[in-house]
A and B are shown apart, each in its own frame.
Chain A
């Protein structure tokens, strides 16, 4: 009874004990296929997460991560008590909600309209043109937005004056009351085509026999849109809506930084992300900026989980 067992272990033990690195080396070709990529992502997407811990330190570049003193939640308290807190949170939520309410349904509407166009060449032209701005850098978009809105000879001021709507040119980009409108409009202009393409693809996947059956039953075009097209693409719409709600605190970055450069606009233009950027990289208060970033990340994860919970009750889910 005992002999076969020992023999068995004697055979299997040396094979199992072949060291891990040896087995690893024997497969070097296969490992080479994935390891460089994993290392890249680990270093540049995950290691930055250690930045989270800086929020609990008085981080100093000279002492480094391990030499800096731990200070607990001091930076969080500073942020919550700072006069910037309310302003930054309000701007983040307002800008984000405005983008959600206006820029989220717009591409769905455009996709529904484009779907009714029977002339393929015309459809293609409109689609191509509306998608084009997505490929321009915010640097360019903000550049000509600033020029179009400028006081001296800005095209918008010239046309408003020609129409008799205003007497004197308005300095749109230094007056806080116009800023949110400008941000929403430029974002709508830049991104409407991108989302439209996604919705059009979803609409193209709707079973055509549904429309045939509906038209035999006498449903009008509008009825078909509301009773067939929209319900069919609801899962896609919900997924995008969840992603939008989950990123409610991502009010934008490049656009706000480039268009809201004027100090007069800081009261309406500064959101959590741009605030952390200014404090951290321009003022070198690393720990404070990390605390602001971490505060935002925690709330974002909460929002995403909540949105997904709601979506699951509605029948579609991200995970």
Chain B
């Protein structure tokens, strides 16, 4: 009898420890699973970079990752020359920069008007903008194609910049105004007392204060438009204005056997977004959670 009670006592003592920290075995399994997930997530990227340094001859043979005998920087040179990377890169940079600047500028003014001003149609206007978010991009492709065709804007950077701005606005407004609501109004009030105009308040006081939110918006918009392909594929027809994702397409035709250069192009396209993501992870996840978990 005594032995049994001792055992149960021991048992409860053991389970008491379990409550605070999971058992080591369980913890090890958990960590193992998470490492496997991480490995699966990162593997294709390592694979991509690895293959972008291989010579054409190196592709054959067994093994999944292949250590190159010498790094084949030639692939990157080929990517630049045959893939028209420099021109497409400039196009992409131009289109995304204009888009994110105009979108941030408009969204800042909008957020100020929605959070700080009282006006009659504020509610309907807000609903109007937020409902715009529900409209799926591919549903607008055909009508916008016809619209741009009428305006002679097909194959013009504006045919991308304008819809990109329109599709950036709702989410940008959501993030910046969410941030603005947390800021006390006293600074603006004293500025107005000192005779500052509306635009003065927005650009000399609100803009510096909301910098974190504006940065989040710019980064998010940069990433989504840098990667955008379907609209670009629909509205651009000539080589002059095509964006970076088209560099890959150049290798599907006559240079399709040049795998190394294809992987080099993909690495070049992925690099800016990956770097920006790694630099601003914190800001990105804050922006997303601000929009998603509100109630």
Contacts and interface: CB of A to CB of B under 8 A. Distances in A.
Interface in B119-144: 119, 125, 128-129, 132, 135-136, 138-144
A189 B269 contact: no
A69 to B, nearest CB: 17
B83 interface: no
Contacts of B119: 30
Contact of B59 (A153, A194, A281): A153
- Lowest 7 CB-CB distances: which A-B pairs, in order? A137-B227, A44-B166, A48-B143, A51-B143, A45-B132, A201-B289, A48-B140
A48 B139 contact: yes
Contacts of B194: none
Given A258-B229, A281-B145, 20 more contacts: A30-B198, A37-B107, A37-B169, A41-B129, A44-B162, A44-B163, A46-B135, A48-B140, A48-B147, A117-B30, A122-B34, A133-B44, A137-B273, A139-B227, A143-B262, A197-B288, A221-B26, A236-B292, A253-B138, A280-B142
A171 interface: no
Interface residues of A, number: 85
Contacts, number: 231
Interface string B19-43: 1111000100011011101101110
Contacts of B288: 194, 197-198
Contacts of B51: 147
Chain B at the A interface: mostly helix, strand, loop or mixed? helix
B34 A40 contact: no
A110 B35 CA distance: 12
A194 to B, nearest CB: 7
Interface residues of B, number: 94
Interface of B: 15-16, 18-22, 26, 30-31, 33-35, 37-38, 40-42, 44-45, 47-48, 51, 59-64, 106-107, 109-110, 112-113, 117, 119, 125, 128-129, 132, 135-136, 138-147, 149-150, 162-163, 165-167, 169-170, 173, 197-199, 202, 223, 226-230, 234, 245, 248, 259, 262-263, 266, 269-270, 273-274, 276-278, 281, 285, 288-289, 292-293, 295
B138 to A, nearest CB: 5
B219 to A, nearest CB: 10
Contact of B117 (A30, A48, A293): A30
Interface string A2-19: 000000000000000000
Specify the main secondary structure of chain A where it touches its partner.
helix
B42 A29 contact: no
20 contacts: A33-B110, A34-B109, A37-B109, A43-B162, A48-B147, A61-B146, A132-B41, A132-B42, A132-B274, A137-B270, A140-B248, A144-B266, A155-B64, A158-B64, A201-B292, A218-B15, A220-B15, A235-B295, A236-B293, A293-B139
Nearest to B265: A143
Given A46-B132, A110-B37, A130-B37, A29 B163 contact: no
A84 B20 CA distance: 59
Contacts of A147: 51, 259, 262-263
